[in-house]
Amino acid sequence: MSSEQKILSTDGIPLEESLKQAEKKNKIKAFLLVTPLLLFLIITYIIPIADMFSRSIDDKMVTNMLPKTYKAMEQWDGKELPSEEVFKAFYLDYKILVENKTAGKLQTQLNYEKNGFKSVLKKLARKQKKFEEGNYKEQIMKVHKRWRNVDYWRAIKRRAPSYTYSKYLKGVDMYSNEEGKIVQVAENRRIHRILWSRTLEVAFFVTLFCFLMAYPIAHLLATLPMKYSNLLMICVLLPFWTSLLVRTASWMILLQQQGLVNDFFVWIGLVTNDNRPEMMYNKTGTYVAMTQILLPFMVLPLYSVMKTISPSLMRAGKSLGATPGVAFFKIYFPLTIPGIGAGCLLVFILAIGYYITPALVGGASGTLISNQIAYHMKSTLDWSFASAMGLMLLTGVLVIYWIYNKLVGVDNIKLG
């Protein structure tokens, strides 16, 4: 549009500008209203995730502990034993660490890289006090024969970069070996992959069970007369108002071998007294407790969608000649898909990161990846590994969300 044709307001200001002026105040107001939430999200969500990410790839510790060594190693091609220069630099770096009593960290870190490194380093720490000046290569190699093995020097060199993706590899039971190739860990040590697949499996089945149980409940809620549906709604929401720990603990009471459920089974003669099935501290317990706890998250989205489906649609279907079954699958069910999508996505995502319940009732065969993360956070203190696994979990959730968006469309989700 040429400038002559610009529409002017009554006062002669271009219309667009005067509109902007008029809307400016509202925009500022709107922004100010969301600012607290925005700040809250940045502080409690964005920053921690960024911190987690930087932790998970951070590998500066070793780099900072051996500055001279890595400087000297820049020239080394890694094929044969490094030169005297490198040995000297390593001796000087390590001496400082031993004096500062921080050598332990280095020993641990290098032991991750190459098994047996710790004892070699400890011996070196004892012996190097008596080292004479000059010809450090000979003196170090004399301390332990492993210093003559080029693999140990390569292990040091591998820790040179200040960033690493090794934690992520570890999360899927892989590592980069001495030659720098990415390989799988020994079969009997592939624990994470079992946990990942178990997590997915539990999340999938919990979602499925929730769906199967929630669909009829939600349908009842949406169709019953008000006075009954209110009561039912309270029954659905009641678990929400009870502490998660209390609910999990009551499942422990119910499911244990001397628990109420088993007592009942024995009483009706389903099992004999000395042959009570184990329903807790395994996957069964995780399934049962998690399904119960996550059920409302499936019921509520389904209910809110079903509430909007006019009962006359089913009637119309029947009057047009469809049997109740056909009418259900051709008319009612397709209309509830937005609710199914929302409920399944919600339950699956919650289940995939569930922690307390599997920790309490899961036992060894029922723990999930989140329990492993917690273990590394609290017990091994390998925070960078915990961060890496947390981010992998987050990525997994985002991937699921993306797939869902491609298949169903996120704008189809209805939560209320």
Partner 1 sequence: MSKKEDFVKFDKVDKSYDGKVLVVKDLNLDIEEGEFVTMLGPSGSGKTTCLMMLAGFETPTNGEIYLDKNPISNIPPHKRGIGMVFQNYALFPHMTVYENLAFPLRVRKISKDDIVKKVEKALSMVSLSGFGNRMPGQLSGGQQQRVAVARALVFDPAVVLMDEPLGALDKNLRESMQYEIKHIHESIGVTVVYVTHDQGEALTMSNRIAVFNDGKVQQLSSPDKLYEEPVNSFVAEFIGENNTFAGEISDISNGSCKVKLDKGEIIANPISVKSVGEKTTVSIRPERALINPKDKMDNNQKGKIEEVIYHGDHTRVRLNLLGNSEFILKVPNSSQNLDIKLGNEINIGWNSHDARALDPK
Complete DSSP assignment for 167-190: HHHHHTTEEE-TTS-EEEPPGGG-
Query: Cα separation of 290 and 283, whole Å?
Result: 10
Cα distances from 9 to residues 23, 78, 174, in angstroms, run: 15, 76, 68
CB of 109 to partner 1, least distance (A): 59
CA distance 33 to 27: 10
Question: Measured from the CB atom, is 118 or 318 closer to partner 1?
Answer: 318
Site for partner 1 in 332-371 (CB under 8 A): 334-335
Of 222 and 386, CB closest to partner 1 = 222
Interaction between residue 228 and partner 1 (CB under 8 A): no
Measured distance between the N- and C-terminal CA atoms of the chain, rounded to whole angstroms: 44
Question: Is residue 317 at the binding interface for partner 1, with CB under 8 A as the rule?
Answer: yes
Told to check if 321 binds partner 1 by CB under 8 A, we report: yes
Q: Count of alpha carbons within 13 Å of 74, Cβ hemisphere only? A: 5
Of 327, 373, 388, 392, the one binding partner 1 by CB under 8 A: 327
Question: Which residue from 135, 230, 319, 365 is in contact with partner 1, where contact means CB under 8 A?
Answer: 319
Nearest distance, CB of residue 408 and partner 1, angstroms: 13
Closer residue to partner 1, CB minimum distance, 90 or 215: 215
Strands 182-184, 174-176: pairing kind: antiparallel
Q: Which listed residue (55, 95, 193, 318) binds partner 1 by CB under 8 A?
A: 318
- Asked if 67 touches partner 1 (CB under 8 A), the answer is no
Q: Which of 245, 326, 381, 410 binds partner 1 (CB under 8 A)?
A: 326
Q: Is 331 in the site for partner 1 (CB under 8 A)?
A: yes
Residue closer to partner 1, measured from CB, 206 or 302: 302
Helix (H) or strand (E) holding 244: helix 244-255
Alpha-carbon span 304 to 416, nearest angstrom: 5
State the sign of the Cα–Cα–Cα–Cα dihedral 297, 282, 205, 266: negative
Q: Which is nearer to partner 1, 305 or 386 (CB)?
A: 305
CA distances from 374 to 348, 368, 386 (A): 20, 10, 7
**Applying CB under 8 A, does 320 fall inside the site for partner 1?**
yes
The span from the CA of 286 to the CA of 371, in Å, is 12
Which residues share a beta bridge with 175?
183
191 is a contact residue toward partner 1 (CB under 8 A): no
Q: Does 329 bind partner 1 (CB under 8 A)?
A: no
Binding window for partner 1 (CB under 8 A); candidates: 43-51, 65-73, 86-94, 331-339: 331-339
* Cβ atoms 62, 106 nearer than 8 A: yes
Distance CA 281, CA 297 (A): 25
Q: Take residue 342 and report the two structure tokens written for it.
A: 């929302």
Toward partner 1, which CB reaches closer, 96 or 335? 335
271-310 footprint of partner 1 as x/- string (CB under 8 A):
---------------------------------------x
243 sits near partner 1 (criterion: CB under 8 A)? no
* Segment interacting with partner 1, rule: CB under 8 A, options 192-200, 223-231, 316-324, 350-358: 316-324
Stretch of 32-40, 219-227, 284-292, 311-319 contacting partner 1, by CB under 8 A:
311-319
Indicate the helix (H) or strand (E) that contains 276.
none
- Count of Cβ atoms closer than 10 Å to residue 68 Cβ: 17
How many CB atoms neighbour CB 118 within 10 A? 17
Interface region with partner 1, contact rule CB under 8 A, candidates 35-43, 268-276, 318-326, 380-388? 318-326
Q: Could you list the residues that contact partner 1 (CB under 8 A)? A: 310, 312-313, 315-324, 326-327, 330-331, 334-335
